[in-house]
Amino acid sequence: MGSGREVARLTREHDAYRWICGGVSVNYHALNDFRSGNEALMDEVLTANVAALAAAGAISLERVAQDGMRVRADAGAASFRRAAALEQHLAEAGELVREVKQRAKDDPGASSRRSQAARQRAAEEREERIRAALEQLPQMQAAKRRNGDKPEHARASTTDADARVMKMGDGGFRPAFNVQLATTCEDQVIVGVAVTNVGSDMGQMAPMVEQLIERSGSTPAQWLVDGGFPAHEQIDAVHEHTQGKTEVLAPVPEPRAKTCKDAGKDAGKDGDEMPPPDKHQPKDGDSVAVAQWRARMAGQDIKEIYKQRAATAECVNALARNRGLQRLPVRGLVKVRAVAMLYALAHNLMRMAKIAPQLIGRGTGASAMAAAAT
């Protein structure tokens, strides 16, 4: 349920919601503020949740899978503007704010104070959003420059300055955020959450490993990711941060076929292709961690283990989609992170009902009694 107003309505009309509230009325403003304004609290509760499950032996942190999914932002594609258009819209928004303020001075009637205040607030919020979009432009121009594109083509949204146009699962391009989830392979419990406005998964693995270690105090033995994650720098960073205790499991890309001319060979015609080198053999310039990763992925036992990645990460992503994580109801990275954390907590609560019912008071056996006593 993504609407605070709808939840507030249910607390008045639905028996289950009324029972949860215990006769206490709930205002939708309070619901929305709680959902989007408590990123630090959500992070603390998720840490406590993971720690409690690990302490009870309900989850194993030995093998963790990470994957990212692009979630539609609350911004329209037409809200993206280039620098010149943003400057023009900012000037127009500033002029509108001045007009609204002057109108309020000229007509201070008590009957229209509320509507005047609402108009002024809306005008000021629009001006603030446009200013935030202008502040984001240098960062977006730098990204364009790194990718070999023209920086003057960078565009920022006047609705949500933090949103970026990303390629979605269906092949289309829409404003979105990249929600990263780290999940235990054995129990499908979310143990790490991150949100970025970078469309690529490259560069997201090492920060998530560090987050899990900080959150749980445990170092995972194996980290499973797809082919979009394993930049050599990321593999080195994970190896260094965990002192080699965490093995990265990710597919090794196929090497590019070379011709005799490329390899400087005398035999054969210049256009003849040479047999591709073994992708699992170390290459010149490979670090120790990267060479170990290449050799590791050649083992048949590792290939069988790696199959758990799709069964874990893809399943959790599909559950998120089915439960309504299709379009974010808030704007800005801070609020989006709070919503992602809240989703992870809801997901984990549903998993706890199956894997550790004693932790939520549903168990009646000896283990539940021992957990309650502890």
Least confident window among 82-91, 115-124, 200-209 = 115-124
The Cβ of residue 161 has, within 10 Å, a number of other Cβ atoms equal to 26
**In the chain, alpha helices (H):** 4-13, 15-21, 28-36, 39-55, 83-106, 113-146, 205-216, 232-242, 260-263, 288-296, 300-309, 315-322, 333-355, 366-373
Query: What local confidence, expressed as pLDDT, does residue 316 receive?
Result: 93
Q: Residue 329: which H helix or E strand, with range? A: none
pLDDT of residue 257: 62
Measured from the Cβ of residue 284, the count of other Cβ atoms closer than 10 Å reads 4
pLDDT classification of 228: cutoffs 50, 70, 90: confident
CA angle 200, 204, 206 (to 5 degrees): 155
pLDDT at 265 over 70: no
Residue 359 confidence (pLDDT):
76
Residue pLDDT, tens place only, 137-171 = 888 888 888 878 888 888 889 899 999 999 888 88
* Residue 4 binned pLDDT confidence (cut-offs 50, 70, 90): confident
Q: What is the pLDDT of residue 204?
A: 92
pLDDT in tens, 333-359: 999 999 999 999 999 999 998 888 877
**What percentage of the chain carries pLDDT values higher than 70?**
90
Percent above pLDDT 90 for the chain: 41
**Mean pLDDT score of the chain:** 85
What's the confidence (pLDDT) of residue 124?
83
In Å, the largest CA–CA distance within the chain is 93
Q: What pLDDT score does 289 carry?
A: 93
